[in-house]
Amino acid sequence: MRKTASTTAPVHPLLAERWSPRGFDQAHELGDDNLTALLEAARWAPSAQNSQPWRFLVTRRGEPAHGRLFATLASGNQAWAGAASALILAVARTADDDGRPRPWALYDTGQAVAALVTQAQADGLAVHQMGGFDSAAARAEFGLDDTLTPVVVIAIGRRDAAAELPEPLAARETAPRTRHPISDLLLPARTARTPAAA
């Protein structure tokens, strides 16, 4: 089954066919070349003043660090994410060494991970990002200082449509993808002084 996005104008297949599965092939291993391509894609993302605030803690299935990162996941994510070939903790450098905040760090890290996801899609890999993890535990476990903010754990691997998943996850795996209509995303260009008509 392909869960291609339903769009009102043609969108590039790398974007339209991307979705976030939970069924991963637990025999697939992420090779060094694949991993490097993913990181290169992230590396070349744009950022405010070219500040490049994204950081990655990369763990592959079978490595000791993989188990430590897996242990920070919410139980609902532990139900499936261990089968992915790699778990990567995406971290934003949200402050300078002197503590001054970097307002675009989270935004730019999102751009970098989006590039990584597009590269994965191009390489026949699937990605599922998780906000459901214990950020404080990850910070403590890996000794992250206060300038760094853990953002998501990224599961990467080869999709396995036949992977066994508990409900309700199995049902979600085949459910249609949904989004707000474009009209809900558009802000009106009204002025603060001239409220829009009802």
For residue 78, the SS3 value is helix
With CB under 8 A as the contact rule, the residue among 162, 171, 186, 197 that binds its own copies is 186
Contact in structure between 42 and 120 (CB atoms under 8 Å):
no
Q: Is 182 in the site for its own copies (CB under 8 A)?
A: yes
Least separation in angstroms between residue 71's CB and its own copies is: 12
d(CA 157, CA 110): 20
Residues in CB range of 128: below 8 A, 6 or more apart: 20, 21, 22, 81, 84, 154, 155
CA distances to 39, 42, 96, 109, 139 from 102, in Å? 22, 19, 7, 12, 19
The stretch near its own copies (CB under 8 A) out of 21-29, 63-71, 74-82, 157-165 is 63-71
Q: Which is nearer to its own copies, 104 or 160 (CB)?
A: 104
With CB under 8 A as the contact rule, the residue among 23, 30, 57, 77 that binds its own copies is 57
Least separation in angstroms between residue 83's CB and its own copies is: 19
d(CA 196, CA 91): 40
Residue type, 167: E
Q: Report the site for its own copies in 23-52 (rule: CB under 8 A).
A: 33, 36-37, 39-46, 48-50, 52
Q: Is 108 in the site for its own copies (CB under 8 A)?
A: yes
Q: Determine how many CB atoms are found less than 10 A away from the CB of residue 25.
A: 17
Q: Which is nearer to its own copies, 55 or 158 (CB)?
A: 55
d(CA 54, CA 37): 16
Q: Is 98 in the site for its own copies (CB under 8 A)?
A: no
Q: Report the site for its own copies in 129-168 (rule: CB under 8 A).
A: 129, 131, 140-144, 148, 151-152
**74-93 footprint of its own copies as x/- string (CB under 8 A):** ---------------x-xx-
Q: Is 95 in the site for its own copies (CB under 8 A)?
A: no
**H-helix or E-strand spanning residue 130:** strand 126-130
Residue type, 152: V
Total residues binding its own copies (CB under 8 A): 80
Q: Is 170 in the site for its own copies (CB under 8 A)?
A: no
Least separation in angstroms between residue 3's CB and its own copies is: 11
